[in-house]
C-alpha cells in the first residue's frame, strides 16, 4: 500500500491549523497511520530537504522549517501521494487553487503550510527519517 509523509510546517502549527490540515486529508479517505510533533534540528532539516541543497532558497528553508514545532505524519492509501499533492495545491500559495490547503491557508512560497512526498522513492526515504517501523500503525 502506498504511503506519503506530510509535514504540518511551523507557520501552520503556530496558527493552530494542525487539526484542520489533518482533517482535510482524512476527509479524502486517506488513513492516518503515524503522527508525532517535533522541533527539527538543522541537521535533520538539511537531510529532509537534501534535494534542494545549493538552491538560493535552501538556507532560508532550513532555518524556517527548524524555526518552531512541526507535526509529522504518514498517510496510507491507494494513490495517496498524488492525492495529497492535489489536496495541498501548488508550491506558491498565490498560484494554488481555492479549496487546496496552500490556496486557502498558505502565507507565501516559503511558508506554505504543508509538505507532502512527491514520489514513492522520496516517500520511503522521508518516512525513514522520521519514523521507526514500529511507530507506523498499518491495518
Binding site for ligand IDP (CB under 6 A): 52, 57, 61, 91, 109-110, 112, 115, 118
Are 31 and 76 spatial neighbours (Cβ–Cβ below 8 Å)?
A: yes
- Minimum distance, C-beta of residue 137 to Mg ion, in the bound complex (Å): 26
In the complex with ligand IDP, the residue whose CB is nearer, 50 or 137, is 50
In the complex with ligand IDP, the residue whose CB is nearer, 4 or 18, is 4
Task: Please identify which of the residues 39, 48, 52, 115 carries the catalytic annotation.
Answer: 115
How far, in Å, are 5, 75, 80 from residue 1 at the CA level?
A: 13, 10, 9
Which residues, other chains included, contact 40 with Cβ-Cβ below 8 Å and sequence gap of 6+? 48, 65, 66, 70
Examine the residue annotation and report whether 115 is marked as an active-site residue of this protein.
yes
- Minimum distance, C-beta of residue 127 to ligand IDP, in the bound complex (Å): 16
Chosen from ligand IDP, Mg ion, none, partner binding at 104 (C-beta under 5 to 8 Å by type): none
Helix (H) or strand (E) holding 72: strand 70-76
Closest to 12 (Cα-Cα) out of 107, 121, 116:
107
Chosen from ligand IDP, Mg ion, none, partner binding at 44 (C-beta under 5 to 8 Å by type): none
Active centre residues (catalytic): 115
Amino acid at each position: 500500500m502506498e504511503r506519503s509523509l506530510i509535514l504540518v510546517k511551523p507557520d501552520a502549527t503556530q496558527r493552530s491549523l494542525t487539526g484542520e490540515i489533518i482533517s482535510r486529508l482524512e476527509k479524502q479517505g486517506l488513513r492516518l497511520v503515524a503522527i508525532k510533533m517535533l522541533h527539527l534540528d538543522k541537521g535533520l532539516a538539511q537531510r529532509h530537504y537534501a534535494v534542494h541543497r545549493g538552491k538560493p532558497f535552501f538556507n532560508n528553508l532550513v532555518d524556517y522549517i527548524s524555526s518552531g514545532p512541526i507535526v509529522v505524519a504518514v498517510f496510507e492509501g491507494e494513490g495517496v501521494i498524488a492525492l495529497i499533492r492535489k489536496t495541498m495545491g501548488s508550491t506558491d500559495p498565490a498560484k494554488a487553487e481555492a479549496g487546496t490547503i496552500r490556496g486557502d491557508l498558505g502565507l507565501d512560497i516559503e511558508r506554505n503550510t504543508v509538505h507532502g512526498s512527491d514520489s514513492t522513492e522520496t516517500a520511503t526515504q522521508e518516512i525513514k527519517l522520521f519514523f521507526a517501523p514500529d511507530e507506523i500503525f498499518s491495518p
